[in-house]
Amino acid sequence: MKNLLLKFEPLIWLLFGQGIMIGTLLLTGWVLILGIAAPLGWVAPLEFEHAHELAASFIGRVVLAALIALPLWKGAHHMRHVFIDMGGADRDSKVAPLLYLISLAGSVAAIVAVVRL
Amino acid sequence: MSDLPKKKFVITRFDPDVDEVPKTQEYEIPVEPDWKVLDALNFIKDEIDGTLSHRWSCRMAVCGSCGMMVNGEPKLTCKETLADYGDTVEVSPLANFPIVRDLVVELDGFMDKFKSVKPWIIRAKELAVDEGPMRQSPEELEEFKQFSMCINCMLCYSACPVVANEPEFLGPAAIALGHRYNVDSRDEGAERRNEVFRGEGTVFSCSFANECSEVCPKHVDPAAAVNQAKFNAVIDWAKGLVLPRGGES
Amino acid sequence: MARASHPHAMHPKKPGSTRTAAPQMPPKFPMAGRYRAYTLFDWTGLIYLILGFMALEIVWALGTGKAEWVALMERFQNPIYVIFHVLALVSVIFVGVRFFGFFPKSQPPRIGPVKPPPQPVILGGLYVAWIGISAVFSLILSGALFR
């Protein structure tokens, strides 16, 4: 398992890096409007028909898939570091695959979610 | 000497023949206004307790010998001015290293990691003497020069949380020096070094705490080197997917 | 007194001739001094995992139908959700500031013949992209753009 993790590390790091970069670029507006401004009534919430029309466009599907999947890789990789920093390095070869499986499952679900729009 | 202000030094002591675990010992000594922490340690050893063991050499922050934890931070004791510290100064051996005795730590672990990155120019074929020197432009030198300033003081290893928790990790200085050679236009050994960078001590273990660069006394910025090395490793990996190499490296 | 590092931290392949004492963690790790920002940075991983799965829930609801979408938007009005999103926004901004600060120096000096732009240009470009993309995305999500 350790060798498998070492083999895939560049890909995981790339996904993690993009999770920070693109995740941060996209999540700022996303959290601000959908998580704070709309619930508090500062802006009108998106109507379903309009939201669906935006989301179901090609660019909409790509952006949403990235917005779901990439932060999951950032999250999993950083939680792996948290576990190691708390003294879990000797169990990393069991914990890391579990965390990355979560982000992989979420990424697959992201693709399904945008396809079924 | 008696008119001089005094400071208290709380120093880690460990004698493997006598002590189960390290303990601390306190010394209160008069300090000159221009003293460094190292001057105080040398005064203690010369005048008060000859059994105190510590490493030092150049006294001018170029040899890297006198690294220790001063008030919980890795420092070169020859560089730290005592006037910047309060009345009590704690001095302990470098964090993350096995302790040999008192303030002296085991360095061979670092030497193993350092040697593994092959920190020398590797050429596919050595130039003959009459072919002249290998030429390098100032721009090519700038690409790696700061990483060559490392004095192997190992303060970066003491500050790094990954070194603390992952024993196989190559560590900041070893990766920075390996990267220094990878980026050197005269070198042709990147492929061999990248096997080490992608091995058990993998550069990808670095979590970008940036502590190594914060504590480096020579402004090497090892965090920059390690993360540039990650980037280069990803490029090599991607190239390997598109253009798979044969077995020979 | 600091706690112990990993018992094999910085151990040599060949043991020395005398017994050594166990390596000690840097005393300020994990939550004192500069380490606090680093540890919190890693813990934002949890926020990003939650945000990712919440985004999945939102897009899934959008794909299921109007009733699910409306119900989900009403659920987001719960104060617990709003407080979480305020914390999430702080986290995302913290991550952006720290990561973008480090990004320029992590670029290799050259990729083949191509050199990266000077570090201040990279940093400025990142902030322009961040503010620009956030502004446009916010306008789209609030219905002000592409109506």
What CATH number did the domain enclosing B33 receive? Answer: 3.10.20.30
Pairing verdict, β B73-76 and B67-70: antiparallel
CB B224 within 8 A of CB B143: no
Pairwise CB contact (< 8 Å): C146 & A54: yes
- Quote the pTM value: 0.94
What is the structure's pLDDT at B248? 41
The closest CB to that of C29, out of B106, B161, B166, belongs to B161
> Nearest chain A Cα to C88, which residue?
A31
- Interface check for A53 against chain B (CB to CB < 8 A): the answer is no
| Residue C6: per-residue pLDDT | 96
Q: Which candidate from C30, C45, C142 shows the least CB-CB separation from A33?
A: C142
Instruction: Mark B40-68 as b/e (b = at least 16 C-beta within 10 Å).
Output: bbbbbbeeeeeebbbbbeebebebbbbbb
Residues of chain B with pLDDT under 50: 246-249
On whether both B119 and B233 belong to a single domain, the answer is: yes
In this prediction, residue C113 carries a pLDDT of 86
Interface test with B, best of C3, C6, C10 (most B CBs within 10 A): C10
The burial class, CB within 10 Å (0-12 / 13-18 / 19+), for B31 is: buried
Q: Are residues B11 and B96 in the same domain?
A: yes
Option in A2, A14, A81 nearest B207 (CB):
A81
Residues 6+ apart with CB under 8 A from B185: B136, B137, B140, B143
Q: How far is B132 from chain A (nearest CA, A)?
A: 39
Strands B6-13 and B23-30 come out as antiparallel
> A44 contacts in C (CB within 8 Å)?
142-143
Q: Does B214 touch chain C (CB under 8 A)?
A: yes
**Rg of chain B (C-alpha set):** 21
- Domain membership of residue B226 (yes or no) is yes
Q: Strands B67-70 and B104-105: what pairing?
A: unpaired
B200 to chain A: which residues are within 8 Å by CB?
Answer: 2, 6
pLDDT along chain A (117 residues), means of 10: 89 96 96 97 93 96 97 98 93 95 98 97
Q: Are residues B218 and B177 in the same domain?
A: yes
Same domain, yes or no: B97 and B180 = no
How far B47 CA lies from chain A's nearest CA (Å)? 42
- Residue A57 is given by DSSP the state S
Residue B198 and residue B122 share a domain: yes
Q: What is the ipTM of this complex?
A: 0.96
The domain segmentation of chain A, as residue ranges, is 2-115
Q: Given this model, what pLDDT does residue B240 score?
A: 86
Residues B221, B143 share a domain: yes
Whether chain B has a CB inside 8 Å of the CB on A40: the answer is: no
Q: Does the CB of A65 have a partner CB in chain B at under 8 Å?
A: no
Q: Give the distance, in angstroms, between the CA of residue B31 and the centroid of all CA atoms in the same chain.
A: 29
Contact A39 C30 (CB under 8 A): no
The verdict on B90 and B120 lying in the same domain is no
Domain that holds residue B180: 108-242
Interatomic CA distance for residues B168 and B198, integer angstroms = 12
| Predicted local distance difference test score (pLDDT) of residue A2 | 84
- Please give the Cα distance from A27 to A43 (Å, whole number): 17
CATH of domain A2-115: 1.20.1300.10
- Is the minimum CB–CB distance between A107 and chain C shorter than 8 Å? no
- Specify whether B100 is located in the same domain as B140: no
Could you say which of B105, B137, B171 is where a domain stops?
A: B105
Among C25, C28, C109, the residue with its CB nearest the CB of B143 is C109
User: How many separate domains does chain B show?
Assistant: 2
- Give the other-Cβ count within 10 Å of B81's Cβ: 12
Question: SS3 of B75, please?
Answer: strand
Is B236 in the same domain as B122? yes
| Residue B163 Cα, gap to closest chain A Cα (Å) | 10
List the chains bordering chain A where 3 or more Cβ pairs fall under 8 Å. Answer: B, C
* Any C CB within 8 A of B77 CB: no
Considering CB atoms only, which of B95, B98, B159 is closest to C11? B98
Write out residues in chain C with pLDDT < 70, as ranges.
1-2
**Same domain for B113 and B69:** no
